[in-house]
Structure 1
Amino acid sequence: MTASPPKPKITTLVEKLSLRDSVSAEEIAALQDVLGPPREVKAGADIVRQHAHPLHSTLLISGFSARYSTLSDGARQITEINVSGDFIDLHSLLMKQMDHGVLALTDCVVAFAPHAKLIHLTERHPHLSRLLWLDTIIDAAIHRQWLVAMGRRSGLAHIAHLVCELYLRLKAAGQADEMRFDLPLTQAVLGDALGLSTVHVSRLITELRGEGVVQWANGQVEILDWRRLAEIAEFDAAYLRLQSEPV
C-alpha cells in the first residue's frame, strides 16, 4: 500500500486566523485538505516567479520570504516580508498573472493549495472564505503602511516601524514571545525592504541600540522598550487587525 503524503502543519495559520475570529474544527480540516504535502525551498530561490500564472496559492509554513519587484537595471525593491502562517500569494486565485515575485529569504517550508480546490473551499465554507479574504485585505494594509514609511518616515522611524510590525505578526503566528524574535535577514535584504543602503541600515540599527530600545545581534531581536520603539515609529497596530472581530 502506498503511504499517504504527509500533511502540512498549519498551526501558525490557524493561530493567526483565530485571533480575528473563531475557526471551527471543520474549517481547520478544510484548510488541511486543500493543501498539498510540505515542500522545502532553499534560501535565494523564487517561490513564485514575477509575471508567472500560478495554478496554486502558497502557504508559508516556516521561514521568511518576501514579495519583490525588479527594475530593468536589476535593482530590487522588497514590498512585504512574509512570515510563518502567511498565504504569500492567495490573491493569485483571482489575479491570475503575478505582477511581482516571491523570494525565499531563508530556507522555507511551503505547501501549495491548487486554485481549483480553493474555489471549491470558498463555495463550501463561506465564513472561512471571509477570513481568508480578510487576510488579503490586511496584506493591502501592510503595503499602504510600507508606502507611507518609504515616502514620509525618517530612516530611523522606518526601521523601527518594521521591527514593531514583524514582532506583532510573528507573535500572532506563535513565533515570538517575551519581546524576542528571530530575524535571520541580512542587512542587504533589510536595505531592499527599506530602500536604503546596507551602510545606512547598519547605522540605523546602531542608533536603535543606542536609544536603548532594542538588542539586535546574530539574527535575533529583543525589544527592550516597546513604548519608546512604537513612539519612534509612530506605530499604530490597527492595520494588522489583531483583535477578535467576527466576520
Structure 2
Amino acid sequence: MLMNQSPLAPMVRKLEQWATLTDVEREALLALPYVLQSLAPNEAIIKEGDRATHSCLLRSGFAYRQKLVRTGARQILAVHMAGDMVDLQNSLLRIADHGVLALTAAEVAFIPREAVLDVAFKHRTIGEALWFDTLVDGSLFRERIVGIGRRDGATRIAHLLCEFGLRLEVAGLGSHHEYELPMTQEELGDCLGLTPVHVNRMLRILSDEALIERKQRAVRIVDWAGLVRRGDFDGSYLHMRSECARLWNPVS
C-alpha cells in the first residue's frame, strides 16, 4: 500500500520528525495491524486504571490527557492532534495512570501493544523515534508545570496559543497565525489552572494589547513576535527541526 493511502501514514510522518526512516522501516510501520474507531467528543480512548492492550494513533481530531482528583475536578495534562501517538507509553507501563479522551470528534487507530513493541525492537531507528516521541511528551509536561507554577494567567494563555499554533503548522494542520482553538474556556482553565472567568478576562487582555483577535473559537494572532514575548515562549522544549526556531525567536 502507498503511504498516503494508509490509515497509519500520519504516524509515519510524525516519527519522521524525529528520525530518518528507510523504506523498509516505513513499510514495517504501515504493516502494523490496527482497528479504526470513530469517537465522539469526551469519549474515552483509554480510562485511568485500564490495562493497556493497544497504542493509539490519533488520525483526525484532537484529544487530551487528564487526571481526576477525589472531588472530580480534572487537570488537563496535554492536548494532542492528528498524527500523535496518544497512548504510546502504556505499551511498556501496562496500566494507564491517567485517562485520554477525545476533545473533538476524532478517529483513532488502535494498534496492539505487542505489535508496537515488536516493530520497535526489530528496527532500532523506529524504536529510537518512538522513544524520542515519549520524551517530547515529557518535555511538554515539564513546560506546563513551569507555566502553572510560575507564570501569570495572561502569560500562560499567550504561551499556550503560541505552542498550539506552532504545533499545528509543523504537523501540516494549519497556520501558526490563524487557527481554530478546539477548547472551551472551561477546558482552557482545566489545562492552565485557571477558572473560566479568569480565562475570559485574560483573553480580553491579550485582545486589548492588540496581540490576538478572537471570534468564538477562531484565533488570529495579530502580533506573533509580541505574543511570543508576552507568553515567555521558547519553543525549544518541543524539540522541532532547527529551522523552526525562527517562529519562537522572530526578531533574531
TM-score, reference length from structure 2: 0.89
CA RMSD of aligned residues (A): 1.8
Q: What is aligned with 1:240?
A: 238
How far apart are residue 35 of structure 1 and its match?
4.4
Q: What is aligned with 2:201?
A: 203
Q: Write the distance in 1 (CA, Å) between the matches of 2:12 and 2:125.
A: 14
Q: What is aligned with 1:135?
A: 133
Change (3 A) 1:172 1:23: farther
Partner of 2:16: helix, strand, or coil?
Answer: helix
Q: Write the distance in 2 (CA, Å) between the matches of 1:182 and 1:9.
A: 25
Change (3 A) 1:49 1:205: same
Superposed counterparts of 1:1-247, under 5 Å = 7-11=6-10, 13-177=11-175, 179-243=177-241
**Paired residues of 1:15 and 1:172 also in contact (CA < 8 A):** no
5+ long unaligned stretches in structure 1: 1-5
Partner of 1:163: helix, strand, or coil?
Answer: helix
Partner of 1:202: helix, strand, or coil?
Answer: helix
Q: Specify the code of the residue in structure 1 equivalent to 2:72.
A: G
Change (3 A) 1:215 1:30: farther
Partner of 2:174: helix, strand, or coil?
Answer: coil
- Identity in percent: 37
**Paired residues of 1:15 and 1:174 also in contact (CA < 8 A):** no
Q: Write the distance in 2 (CA, Å) between the matches of 1:212 and 1:187.
A: 20
Partner of 2:157: helix, strand, or coil?
Answer: helix
**Paired residues of 1:54 and 1:96 also in contact (CA < 8 A):** yes
Following TM superposition, the consecutive aligned residue runs of length 4 or more in structure 1 with deviations greater than 6 angstroms are none
Q: How many residues align?
A: 239
TM-score, reference length from structure 1: 0.91
How far apart are residue 211 of structure 1 and its match?
1.3
Q: Which fold has the larger relative contact order, with Cα–Cα distance below 8 Å and residues 6 or more apart in sequence?
A: 1
5+ long unaligned stretches in structure 2: 244-252
How far apart are residue 189 of structure 1 and its match?
0.8
**Paired residues of 2:63 and 2:101 also in contact (CA < 8 A):** yes
What are the Cα deviations for residues 85-131 of structure 1, in whole angstroms up to 9, with x where unaligned?
11111000111111110111111111011111011101221101101
Partner of 1:38: helix, strand, or coil?
Answer: strand
**Paired residues of 2:12 and 2:29 also in contact (CA < 8 A):** no
Q: What is aligned with 2:247?
A: none
How far apart are residue 38 of structure 1 and its match?
2.3
Q: Write the distance in 2 (CA, Å) between the matches of 1:161 and 1:17.
A: 25
Q: Write the distance in 1 (CA, Å) between the matches of 2:22 and 2:228.
A: 34
**Paired residues of 2:212 and 2:219 also in contact (CA < 8 A):** yes
**Paired residues of 1:57 and 1:90 also in contact (CA < 8 A):** yes
